[in-house]
Amino acid sequence: MENFIVLIPLFPLLAAICIGSLQLFSVIEGEGSERFTARVANYAVGLSCLIALLLLCQDFWFGNNAVLTLGSWLSVDDLVIKLSFFTHGFSLKLAVIFALLLCVVTRFSVNYLHREAGFHRFFFVLSLFAFAMFMLVLSANALGTFMGWEIAGLCSYLLIGYLYNSQNATHNAMRVFITNRIGDAGFIAGLVLCYLWLGNINWLDIPVFIHQLSAQKLNLIALCFVIAAMVKSAQFPFTPWLARAMEGPTPSSAIFYGAIMIHSGVYLLFLIRPLLELTPLIAGFVAVIGLLTAFYAYFVGLAQTDIKTSLIFATSGQLGLLFLECGLGFWELATWHLCAHIIVRAYQLLTAPSLLHNIQSTSIQNAPALFATNRRFYTYATQRFWLEPITDWLIVKPVMNLASDLNYVDKQIMDPLMGSPAPTIHAISSLAQAQERNIGAHLDSTEDTFAQGSGLAGKLTQWTASILHWFEYHFILHGASDNVFHYGRRLGHIANQTELTLLKPRYLVTFIFITLLVAM
Amino acid sequence: MTMTFLPMLSMLIGVPVVGALIIAFVPNIHWAKKIALMTAFFELLIAIMLVFSFDRSNASFQFIEQYAWIPSLNAEFFLGVDGISILFFPMTALLMFVTIIASWSNIQHLTRLHFALLLLLESATMGVFSALDMLLFFLFWEATLPPIFFLIGLWGIGAKRSQAALKYTLFMLCGGVPLLFAIILLAVNHANQFGESMTAGLSFSFPVLLNTPMTDHLQIVILLLFVLGFAVKTPLVPFHTWLPTIAMESPTQLSALLMGLKLGAFGLLRFAFPLAPSAAGHYAWLLALFGAITLIYGALIALKQTNLRQLLAYLSISHVGFVTMGIASLTLQSIQGALFQLLNFTAIASSLMLIAGFLQQRIGSTEWVHLGGLAKVVPRLCVFFYLFSFASIGIPLTSGFPAEILLIIGVFKHQFGLGIVGLLGAIFGAAALFMLIQKTFLGEVRHSSNLQLVDLRAHELWVLCIPFIFVLFFGLWPQFLLDISQGSLTLWLNRLVDLPLTLSFTS
């Protein structure tokens, strides 16, 4: 019976592959096959849900083993990664809640997206997402969780950019994806450090080994995972991506950012709970970040006039509270809070459009009293505390500037330095030219030709000669008059510029970064 | 070392040459094309047969063929494969098969010569992968140049194609010089070590040279020469400038081929490290550093490109930097990952470039200002571009994922800082690729002339489906590939690590 747990992620994956490949080869197209697609997606998620419920019942009455381990997926040297799933405890319960919600949302989307252009595409992504979430929640080793983690991020990218004709939606999708990529990097770093220092990446084995590690190493592992959780759950410096994610169709917003995916960060905190309990520093960090997010989301949420964004800032606030609870060690409370929040928020977001439809005529509420009296505060809130421009200015802009500097170096300096072949440029086009060259008259050359060298030594001599010539021409022949000052000033200016460029933050930070890397 | 009855490796080298000769004498042009395709297909079959008759439990060389070639120099016609090189054969054959289909209808003049040159290139490449005699290897290595020179020069799509062809050839010839020096030094050292006279004691056989004792100073020189030679082909910064030029000027199916064939990295793995083991153990960090620089440099420059093909070229440079880092990290995970990633990019990088080529063929440009919003017009092409992009940034379920995970784990194991660089590179690379997708495929259709574009034709669909099946299959079942190379790579690593001088490489 426990072996059936494999089927929970497998069914949605098969559904996704089926819908995706059939649509790619135009077997299903347009309104006629909507019924087929909807059925495949519904049945797949439905079956997964059924199996999850059965397993839960079995666990409740008879008690399952904690983990089901199947064959190995990857083994190199002492790194052995097995397919393993939780069949017991919180993960299974969460999987059941997710499965139920996925069922509901899939059914809801059948009507909601009827006659939309991307009907099949939507259900493809939804099924893939269901696979990813089951993988994330059920996998008993960090790599399986990460697989779900990254595919879920990808699905969110695909659904935010659902209206691929809209510049705005797709740009937001890209921003969200790249932000999520930072979290993924944190997850991978945590995973790799676990393997290197603990020799193991099974979630249940981690508590067994962590007592051997120094506090510093523990802190580092915990920090990596916490960064991943922060990005996924849109905690403080990363909050803005959540508002950008509202471009997708309503069911996808509900399921990704209201109910399911956004909570995977908190779920990750649950998974690394033994680690957090040993690292008070990081736990405190989690609590502070949670508190900050809660306040931030509360104030920004007050100023929102759109139903979806205000709901999403409410979600963000609640997630902040969840982080706070986890950071302070109230795990039991966090568990209930998490489950309750998932259900309520999914309901709210799913009904948002019809709510909007019903209250179309009524005017929006007045601004809260806090804003009425303090106008500056209102500006802060509507501008969302300039969080996104600040991160842009701190990270994106320097990186792009560095990129364009490097691009310049590559095109203007590196390429000529490595030598693009001169022969074709200076090819001899006529016999007369060849004869000119033979007698040494370089009439077509722009260089000063009284010293023409060949070979390395020859070229060096030639260059030295021409530099001396330039010097002589500009400084000595023109007399020590204005020109000296003029050129002197220009040289000084260039030197100043060089120094200023080197002192720009992006270079300073790069140098510091390189130094640190070398030191490590 | 076992002898087999059927000379499979000679067949792999010989069949394309025969095919090319037949093409030269077939009067009908359509028949010539079909023969080229059939030759490539036959070659693919042999290569697949080779993989399945390969004995995985045997870590040393198999399918040995050894005949005298130049007796006065002791050079032999000596072929053989092990777990490191075996998988390159089917991938190269597959790539060539795909390339021939892709250039089926867009080569209009000198068609016969074009296909014959492609087949000759295939033959030389197979030779590079199978040669175990250093002189023979060098011969095949240089024999790849003339076909490429003519392919770029005659059928290039850029205005400066002849200049690009010359640039490529000159770069590669410069890279060849240190290789030749290294090979001669190795042979002479063999003669000196065994105290024999100069001509009688020379040896170019790779397995013999592996066991020839060598002083540390000489090892350093050999390693330096090899790395210099292979770095040009790989390419590592600062020797990379030929690749963007090639991507812009040469016919797209050929740039797909050149991006797919990672001969330089193969050379590093096969010859440079094992032949100078103690020097490699000591100075691998230097190569890792160059790999790291290449990784970040390529990814950052890719962020600023405005042309799809050029961007793909820089991304490919960046990826190869990561692979180099993996090889130089000297852990089993990282070299397994590096080898896996090399095979991956034979499928992924070349497919991305082929798609860019399809766009070039339809629109006449791959500059961003001429594209935009293409997902609406050519949905299938866009889907495939997406799929291969996912594979290239290592999304799970594609073969890029296990390869990248192995690489990152191995690099972290070697040195913490390098691992961080790898993760940073992964973020920048993804950013560049997705900005590219955003500007090319998403948003409004910017030019009304693009509204009439034709989506993927049947043969183009096949060209992309075949590599994609590979990507998906090995994404789900990576162990199949890893098992093949496990034995040989363990042996490879033990040669380097077991030396008493190389204790300092673990952190």
Least reliable range by pLDDT among A37-46, A183-192, B367-376 = B367-376
The shortest CB-CB distance from A424 to any of B163, B237, B417 is to B163
Q: pLDDT at position B499, please?
A: 55
Q: What is the pLDDT of residue B5?
A: 65
Give the confidence band of A361 by pLDDT, cuts at 50, 70, 90: low
Q: Which of A107-121, A372-386, B127-141, B239-253 has the lowest mean pLDDT?
A: A372-386
pLDDT tens digits, one per residue of A447-472: 444 455 556 666 777 788 778 877 77
Distance from the B469 Cα atom to the nearest Cα atom in chain A, whole angstroms: 12
Stretch 273-312 of chain A: residues touching chain B, C-beta under 8 Å:
none
Q: Is the pLDDT of residue A114 over 50?
A: yes
Residues from chain A contacting residue B426 (CB–CB below 8 Å) = 181, 185
Q: Does A404 touch chain B (CB under 8 A)?
A: yes
Q: Which residue of B has its CA nearest to A520?
A: B417
Q: Are A220 and A198 in contact (CB under 8 A)?
A: no
pLDDT in tens, A425-435: 444 555 655 66
The residue type found at B35 is: I
Q: Write out pLDDT tens, residues A149-181.
A: 999 999 989 988 888 888 888 888 999 999 999
Summarize pLDDT for B210-255 with one digit per residue, the tens.
888 888 889 999 999 999 999 999 888 888 888 988 888 888 889 9
Q: Is the pLDDT of residue A362 over 70?
A: no
- Pick among B171, B241, B455 to test the A interface (most A CBs inside 10 A): B241
Cβ burial of B340 (10 Å; 0-12, 13-18, 19+) is: buried
Give me the mean pLDDT over the A264-289 stretch. Answer: 92
Kindly state whether A504 is in contact with chain B, defined as any CB-CB distance less than 8 angstroms. Answer: no
Structural domain count, chain B: 1
pLDDT at A241: 86
The CA distance from B358 to B456, in Å, is: 8
Closest CA to B227 of B170, B265, B278: B265
Ranges A78-92, A133-147, B138-152: which has the least confidence:
A78-92
- Among A14, A19, A25, A77, most B C-beta atoms within 10 A, so best to mutate, is A77
Q: Which residue of A has its CA nearest to B166?
A: A421
Per the CB < 8 Å rule, is B442 touching A167? yes
Cβ separation B443–A76 shorter than 8 A: no
Band of pLDDT at residue A138, cut at 50, 70 and 90: very high
Buried b (16+ CB within 10 A) or exposed e, A23-37: bbeeebeeeebbeeb
**Test mutation, A150, A178, A192, chain B, max B CBs within 10 A:** A192
Rounded to a whole number of angstroms, the CA Rg of chain B reads: 22
* ipTM score: 0.90
| Residue B335: predicted pLDDT | 92
Extract the tokens encoding A41: 């997606």
Question: Which chain A residue's Cα is nearest to B333?
Answer: A76
User: Taking CB atoms and an 8 Å limit, are B419 and A418 in contact across chains?
Assistant: no
Q: How far is the C-alpha of A322 from the C-alpha of A511, rounded, in Å?
A: 38
Q: How many CB pairs under 8 A join A and B?
A: 148
Residue A454, pLDDT score: 58
Is position B2 within any domain? no
In the predicted model, what is the mean pLDDT of chain A? 83
Between B95 and A484, where is the model more confident? B95
C-beta atoms of B170 and A518 within 8 A: no
Q: Give the whole-angstrom CA distance, residue B220 versus residue B239.
A: 21
Minimal-distance CA residue of chain A relative to B389: A154
The two tokens of residue B259 are: 């991006």
For position A478, what pLDDT does the model report?
60
| Record: contact B412-A74, CB cut-off 8 A | no
Computed over every residue of chain B, the mean pLDDT equals 88
Q: Which residue of B has its CA nearest to A153?
A: B395
pLDDT at A430: 54
Domain presence at residue B428: yes
The residue written with tokens 């000084």 in the block is A492
Q: Is A29 on the interface with B (CB under 8 A)?
A: no
Quick check: A419 pLDDT over 70? no
What is the per-residue pLDDT for A9?
A: 92
Name the closest residue on chain A to residue B480, using Cα atoms.
A74
Q: Kindly indicate the confidence band of residue B500, based on its pLDDT and cuts at 50, 70 and 90.
A: very low
Give the CA angle between residues A433, A434, A436 to the nearest 5°: 60
Burial A481-513 (b: 16+ CB within 10 A, else e): eeeeeeeeeeeeeeeeeeeeeeeeeeeeeeeee
Nearest CA in chain B to A399: B300
Touching check for A197 and chain B: CB below 8 Å?
no
User: pLDDT band for position A446 (50/70/90)?
Assistant: very low
Is A223 a residue whose pLDDT tops 80? yes
Q: Do A415 and B434 touch (CB under 8 A)?
A: no
| Cβ under 8 Å to B: A residues 38-77 | 72-77
Residue B453 backbone zone (phi > 0: left; psi -120 to 50: alpha; other: beta)? beta
pLDDT at A112: 85
Please tell me the distance from the alpha carbon of residue A386 to that of residue A365, in angstroms, as a whole number: 25
- Which of the residue ranges A113-117, A430-434, A508-512 has the most confident prediction, judged by mean pLDDT? A113-117
Mean pLDDT of B315-335: 92
Written as six digits, the tokens of A493 are 């200016």
DSSP three-state, residue A210: helix
**Dihedral over Cα of B359, B242, B390, B471: its sign:** positive
pLDDT of residue B167: 86
Residue B316: domain span = 8-505
Secondary structure (3-state) at B205: strand
Token duo for residue B27: 């009067």
**Average pLDDT of B289-309?**
92
Does the distance separating the beta carbons of A520 and B431 come in below 8 Å?
no
Q: Choose the weakest-confidence range: A335-349, A491-505, B231-245.
A: A491-505
Please compute the mean of the pLDDT values over residues A117-136 and round it to a whole number: 91
Q: What's residue A498's pLDDT?
A: 85
Among candidates B345, B311, B445, which has minimal Cα distance to B94? B345
| Residue A161: CB atoms within 10 Å | 25
Contact A406 B300 (CB under 8 A): yes
Residue range B74-87, pLDDT digits in tens: 888 999 998 899 99
Of A76, A418, A516, the CB nearest to B482: A76
pLDDT of A396 reads: 85
In a domain, B3, yes or no: no
Q: Quickly state the pLDDT bin for B506 (edges 50, 70, 90).
A: very low
Please say if the pLDDT value at position B504 is more than 60: no
Residues of chain B contacting A403 with CB distance shorter than 8 Å: 300-301, 303-304
Encoded tokens for B245: 């030029």
